[in-house]
Amino acid sequence: MAEIIERIYKYKNDFRTEWLLKYSDELGEPKTKVFHKKEDADEIRHIIERGDSYNLFLCSTVTDAGELYIRVRDRKFKDHEISDRCYKRDKFYLDKMLTPTLGKTSLASLTHIVIQRWVDDLRKAWSSDNIRNVINFLNNSLTEAQRFGYI
């Protein structure tokens, strides 16, 4: 279904490695995505092979970034790298604190002002610990989206 190919190339007198993930999308079209880390290519290959590739490469809103991060956490949970409690907490942050308020905000229009207003709204109903943790969740979601090349 999906294969990973190592590609070594020379850049300014230095040899570098990148990983090509070759797969077919839902329509059967051949696709290639380039990664700088083999672990990142493996993550996406596992998602594709499990059949979870619907909207895999469409990450345009905050909810999409959060769902991508949940997919990564789901794999770590199944591999027993994180606890059940951590996985459920992340799902809670996405479902109850992020999606209802920032969910439809596009990643292109996400600014520090938008985030500050969101945090101000959260302060009315949630504790400072929950707010800190959901901000970390948002940060991790955006980092994953950036790592996979969506931002």
Q: Which residue has the tokens 């970034």?
A: 65
Amino acid in position 61 = T
Output the CA torsion 28→32→33→37 (10° steps): 120
For residue 8, give the amino acid letter.
I
Distance from C-alpha of 33 to C-alpha of 41, rounded to nearest angstrom:
8
* pLDDT value for 11: 84
Q: What is the pLDDT of residue 136?
A: 94
Task: Please report the pLDDT score of residue 137 as a whole number.
Answer: 93
Buried b (16+ CB within 10 A) or exposed e, 2-31: beeeeeeeeeeeeeeeebebebeeeeeeee
**DSSP H helical segments within the chain, as ranges?**
38-50, 62-78, 84-92, 99-102, 112-123, 128-147
Distance CA 38, CA 59 (A): 21
Q: What is the mean pLDDT of residues 21-38?
A: 80
Q: What is the pLDDT of residues 55-102, one digit of tens each?
A: 555 567 888 888 888 888 888 888 888 898 999 999 999 998 888 888
pLDDT tens-place string over residues 101-141? 888 888 878 889 999 999 999 999 999 999 999 999 999 98
**Residues 48, 53: Cα–Cα separation, whole Å:** 5
Distance in angstroms (rounded) separating the CA atoms of residues 17 and 89: 36
